[in-house]
Structure formats: structure tokens, C-alpha cells
A and B are shown apart, each in its own frame.
Chain A
Amino acid sequence: MSAVEPLFELERPDEVTRQASSRLERAMTGARSDRAVLVVDGEEVEVPKALVQVLLHAVHQQAAGRRVRVVAPDADEELTPNQAAKYLGISRPLLVKLLDDGTIPARHLPGSRHRRISVAALESYLDHKVDRRARLSAAMNEIAEAGLYDRQD
């Protein structure tokens, strides 16, 4: 088993993975019970029902050849600036500006210039952004409905 990371991404699947996902999806959707068991080193371990749903979502998308991203918005794991930039889908220089700005809070490693950013801080930045963008769009829609958007006099 590989190491656990706060941002987990499955790439577009190869043909073998796609077909295996497709078989698993068919088996799961056709099942009479929603109970699932993992066999780890010969020992049976019950899979929580909620996680069966996560698995079902993942195999459904992978069977269709799509990427899957598993995000833990409340994770207290911390990311390096590189990982944080990747998480947000922005460049590293822009992320550094947002950290220097204080827009995204970061923690300095003791006695070092290096910084760590919590996943929660990144999620709160994204929430804030979505919220402000929605309010700006709503304001502009109102302006357009009042017939003022294109006026220049």
C-alpha cells in the first residue's frame, strides 16, 4: 500500500484499469447487499458503507476513462508550496504571492524559511473565491437587467 497524501489523484486509466473498473462497477451495482469486504493479507476486513459509495463513484468514473480526485477539505495535513500550487491549479510564483500577501496563511517551519500550508487554508481560500465571484456575477446581472451594463454615457 502506498503512502497517504492529502491530495489523491487517479490519472486517466489505462485499458487494463478501465476494464477492471468496469467489471467492479457492474458487480457492485448488480449486488443485492451493499456489504463489501476487503481481504488484506488473507484476513477479511469490513469496508464501511460510506466508503463503498466512494469506491463506486471512483470505479464509475475510471470505467469511463476519467480522472478521479479525492480531496479531504478538513485535512490537517500540511502541504509544501509546490503541492499547494498544484492543489489550487495555479503557478508556484502566484502561490508565493498569495502567501506573502497573507491571503493564504502559512506556517514557517521552525528556524527555517520554508513554509507549510494546511489543506483547510486552501479550501477556505477557494470557498471565499467562489463566494465573491458569485456576488460579483449577481451584481453584474442586476446591472444588466437594469439595462446599464453597456451604457457609456
Chain B
Amino acid sequence: MTITRVFADTNTLYPFYVCDLLLHCAEEDLFRVPWSEDLLAELLEVVPDRGARAGTP
């Protein structure tokens, strides 16, 4: 038995208060969140004041 892996799509990493909650839960070993470069790139597009707003949630 291993810890459940949860895919965090960009809409769970923004707004940041949701991201904060999600990552703190992962930090408590409730689940693992796998990352990818694509995910971070998409997040940067969604964040206000950071480049094009292509992926508005």
C-alpha cells in the first residue's frame, strides 16, 4: 500500500489559497502531488500580471 497520488490540475493551484491548502495536505502525507513542467507553465499563464491570460479558469 502506498500513498495515493493526486493529479493537481492548474485550477487547483490557483487561487493561491486553494494551492496553499492542497500543498499543506500533501505535506502532511495525505496524498502525493506529481508535478510537471507543463503544469507550472500553465500556472504561470493563469496567474494575474504574469504574461498572457490564456488559461483563464
**B-contacting residues of A (Cβ < 8 Å)?**
90, 93-94, 96-98, 100-101, 103, 129, 132-133, 136, 140, 143, 148-153
A151 touches B15 (CB 8 A): yes
Total count of chain B residues near the partner, CB < 8 A: 14
**Assembled-state Cα–Cα distance A149/B48 (Å):** 11
Can you list 11 contacts pairing A with B, beta carbon distance less than 8 Å? A94-B29, A100-B1, A103-B3, A103-B29, A136-B23, A136-B27, A148-B16, A148-B47, A149-B15, A149-B17, A150-B16
- Write out the residue numbers on chain B whose beta carbons fall within 8 Å of the beta carbon of A100: 1-2
- Write out the residue numbers on chain B whose beta carbons fall within 8 Å of the beta carbon of A148: 16, 47-48
**A-contacting residues of B (Cβ < 8 Å)?**
1-3, 15-17, 20, 23-24, 27, 29, 32, 47-48
A96 touches B1 (CB 8 A): yes
A151 touches B29 (CB 8 A): no
The 7 closest A-B pairs by CB, nearest first: A152-B15, A101-B2, A100-B2, A97-B3, A143-B16, A140-B20, A149-B16
